[in-house]
A and B are shown apart, each in its own frame.
Chain A
Amino acid sequence: MQFAQLSDQVVIDEAPAGPIDVSAFPGTWVNSNPGTTGVARLQMTEANGILSLQVFAIGQDALTDWGQENVLVFMASPTSRVGAGFTCVFDFGFAETRLQGMIMKGLLVLAQFHTFKDDSRRAGYFMREYFALDHQRF
């Protein structure tokens, strides 16, 4: 088994792997920072094992709906089947945004990589924001 780091080298059961548990993700995730100029909230949904993400960002007068994209789910280890994070890409034509999400202690940490493709000469930028699941339990 090839590896780039020792943690890649694991024993995999020959039995078919079960489905990936993505139950930690679905719902509405709200930015912990009410003063954000970035992403306001995330809507994550699961259908037939496919997890998708809709982003609502802060606009000038109202929220901007980025639309919906499927995400690639990541586990905490090569032997785990429990989703712990995701990546996805939104292409806006004039810009591209890559997202990397990680769930840590109930908090979704979202790293954002924004690259401009237009002629505005704006620098690409990075943001990291925190989101709480609106669980309506308390």
Chain B
Amino acid sequence: MIDTLAFKQLSDLNSALTPSGDPQLSGEKLLGRWVNTNRQTQGIAECIITQDGEHVNLRILGVGTGAPVEWPSVRARILANLEEEAGQRTVALAADFEFDFMKIETHLRVNRGVLVIVIFNTFTDGSGRSNYLNREFFYRMD
């Protein structure tokens, strides 16, 4: 079957991606409440990842002035993670957040017990702010 599959790079043909390869797209290892390792952050304070049947939902609390800013809860895309650093193989999550003044593209993965969130922020309000990226690290709280 693999020989007949369309591909644009060899990793598309990785047998682990096919149903018979049992890609195990479970976000179980990412579930829980994750808190920023940097208490001085001005970005994301914490992230709550929950399972909803076959789906994984993502809640993010941004650091605000006085109280945290609750981002709209979104359903994350679960992706098989083909990188095998230190023999790890888990899933990565990708999620997009839409505000009426900006949109945020994120991806999340666990590396040696640390949740890494990479954030690409795009402003759509004409405020003159530059689009910017950030990367933050989180430890599991429960």
Please report A residues at the B interface, Cβ cutoff 8 Å. 1-10, 12, 17, 20, 37-39, 57-60, 64, 66, 72-81, 84-85, 87, 90, 92, 94-95, 97-98, 100, 102, 111, 113-116, 118, 120-128
Contact = CB atoms under 8 A, between A and B. Distances in A.
A102 B106 CA distance: 13
A17 B128 contact: yes
Interface in B9-30: 9-12, 14, 17-19, 23, 25
> What 7 pairs between A and B have smallest CB-CB spacing?
A5-B62, A57-B9, A126-B92, A6-B42, A37-B10, A123-B23, A78-B129
Of B12, B79, B122, chain A has the most CB atoms within 10 Å of the CB of B12
Interface string B89-119: 0011010010111101101010000000010
B125 interface: yes
A125 B77 CA distance: 10
Interface string B120-132: 1111010111111
A111 to B, nearest CB: 6
A84 B83 CA distance: 23
Contact of A4 (B6, B82, B102, B105): B102
Interface secondary structure of B, over-half rule: mixed
A38 B13 CA distance: 11
Interface string B67-85: 0010100000111111100
Interface of B: 5-12, 14, 17-19, 23, 25, 42-44, 62-65, 69, 71, 77-83, 91-92, 94, 97, 99-102, 104-105, 107, 109, 118, 120-123, 125, 127-135
B77 A100 contact: no
A125 B19 CA distance: 13
B62 A126 contact: no
18 contacts: A3-B69, A6-B63, A7-B42, A17-B128, A17-B130, A37-B9, A37-B10, A38-B11, A64-B8, A77-B132, A78-B129, A79-B129, A102-B135, A114-B79, A120-B18, A125-B11, A125-B81, A127-B82
